[in-house]
Amino acid sequence: MASRIEVGYRLRLSGLLAELGVAQPRDEAEALIGQARERAAEEGLPLEEALARAYEDLRQRVRRTVPPPPPAAPPRFLCDLSLGGLARWLRAAGYDARALIGAKGDALLRAAIDDQRILVTTDGHLLERRLVTEGTVFVVWVPSRMPLLRQLSVVMTDLGLPSLSPRCMSCGGELAAVAKEAVQARIPPKTARWKDEYFLCRDCGKLLWQGTHWERIAARLTEVSPPRTLPA
């Protein structure tokens, strides 16, 4: 396992234990990691999976005890270069998410500050940077090899976010309803026969409609976080 993942788990587990008011969060985090190792050995699980389960159990305990305050406005995200897939799912969940290719460490932190975005990263070391511990930039750490929808659940539950109206998964632009006649030439003939509602991405101009792919995505998002509206 990459040490970056261990570092991330250690820091996030102790952060969550501190939220619960545990006196020695670092020691308790070590104890949880030890238990995950034992569980992995006993049940023949990969250690990463055992750690992910320990993390999810603790997150749920914390969110039940200390629910996150509802966000005043939808946050915007900056995802590191390994999280392009998560950025797409955050857009489907209605959030403005950029994936920054080719930047690491301080450059990522700087980009998040300049653009006033929450940084989503798999780099646990970033949680220890002064800019993060002092609160200049807010960072959500997700384990790198966790499946996409579990990563999405980490972000949404840690921040108490509902699913909103979807954005363009390609670029994150807002979707605007468009009259069928205005885009008739771009609609595949079979689709035109059974669909009357169409949307255009305001940024990249992509044409979308609520087909089976869209419905599958919406169903999976509802499993992760129920839809609700937020102040604009």
Which residues make up the interface to Zn ion (CB under 5 A)?
A: 168, 170-171, 173, 201, 203-204, 206
**To the nearest whole angstrom, how small is the minimum distance from the Cβ of residue 67 to Zn ion?**
33
Question: Would you say 129 or 206 has its CB closer to Zn ion?
Answer: 206
Q: How far is the CB of 12 from Zn ion (least distance, A)?
A: 32
Q: Phi and psi of 82, rounded to 5°? A: -85, -5
The 3-state secondary structure of 139-184 reads: EEECCCCCCHHHHHHHHHHHHCCCECCCCCCCCCCCEEEECHHHHH
Cα 158 to the center of its chain, rounded Å: 9
- Smallest CA-to-CA distance from 76 within 105, 111, 125 is with 111
As measured in angstroms, the least distance from the Cβ of 208 to Zn ion is: 9
Beta carbon nearer to Zn ion, 137 or 175: 175
- The contacts of residue 228 (CB under 8 Å, 6+ apart) are 162, 163, 164
Q: How many CB atoms are closer than 10 A to CB 41?
A: 11
Shortest distance, CB of residue 166 to Zn ion, whole angstroms? 11
Which residue's CB is nearer to Zn ion, number 75 or number 166? 166
Q: Least distance (Å) from Zn ion to the CB of residue 105?
A: 29
Taking the least distance from each CB to Zn ion, the nearer of 6 and 203 is 203
- Residues 123, 6 contacting (CB under 8 angstroms): no
Is 59 or 167 the residue whose CB approaches Zn ion more closely? 167
